[in-house]
Homo-oligomer: A and B are copies of this chain.
Amino acid sequence: MTKLKILVIEGTARPKRRSIHAAKLIEKIGKDIEGIEITLVCPEDFNLPFDGNDDENKDPKYTKLTADADAFFIVTPEYNHGYPGTLKRLLDSELKNYIHKPVAFAGVSDGLWGGVRAIEGLVDCVREMGMVATFTDVQFPRIQDLFDEKGNLLDEKYIKRIERTYTELIWMAKALKHGRENFESKYHEPK
């Protein structure tokens, strides 16, 4: 059976970002799960100088990656109770490749609340993009205490938490893939 392709998206290009530790951990754990194939991308991998999805703000690499993906796992830091601008620019640059595909969230913060407010804001946006937001988030509050400077995980409980989030994401990816392949919709070609 074809593997489900999951695109893990790091949410900021900030040089001092610690969320990359969470994104790499999510990548690593995903690589050990059977039946899925993980690709991690960072915003700096793409050239997206503006907002929106006009031709001058599309990167063909991102278009191809999202077209191929069966599911997404977004890792978002929280700035001022919202999502990072860089993440929004990346997500907004595509229009049609998200429809009827699921997304899981990891929230990251220096403070106590684990980025949950950035996630809440994103849930409304990804719905409009046609994605299905799963409901088993991973939160990384006080991320400076959860990883050392080299990105080594200091709290083993996160392994099970991330696996649990993958379980739900995979369930939804399978259900929606069945739908895309079997039920007619104006949003995608029948196979």
**Which residues of A does B touch, CB under 8 Å?**
12-16, 49-52, 54, 56-57, 77, 79-92, 100, 112-114, 116-117, 120-130, 132-133, 135, 139, 141, 168, 171-172, 174-176, 178-179, 182-183, 185
Contacts and interface: CB of A to CB of B under 8 A. Distances in A.
A51 B114 CA distance: 18
Nearest to A56: B15
Given A16-B52, A81-B125, 16 more contacts: A14-B51, A51-B77, A52-B79, A80-B129, A82-B125, A85-B86, A85-B89, A86-B89, A100-B171, A112-B139, A117-B117, A123-B124, A133-B133, A174-B183, A178-B179, A178-B182
A13 B89 CA distance: 11
Given A117-B120, A178-B178, A185-B171, A128 B50 contact: no
A1 B39 CA distance: 40
A83 B178 CA distance: 33
A92 to B, nearest CB: 5
Contacts of A183: 171, 174-175
Nearest to A116: B113
A123 B116 contact: no
A182 B178 CA distance: 11
B127 A81 contact: yes
Contacts of A185: 168, 171
Given A116-B117, A175-B179, A88 B85 contact: yes
A81 to B, nearest CB: 4
16 contacts: A51-B79, A51-B86, A79-B88, A79-B92, A80-B92, A80-B126, A80-B129, A83-B88, A85-B85, A86-B89, A120-B124, A121-B121, A123-B124, A133-B133, A174-B179, A178-B179
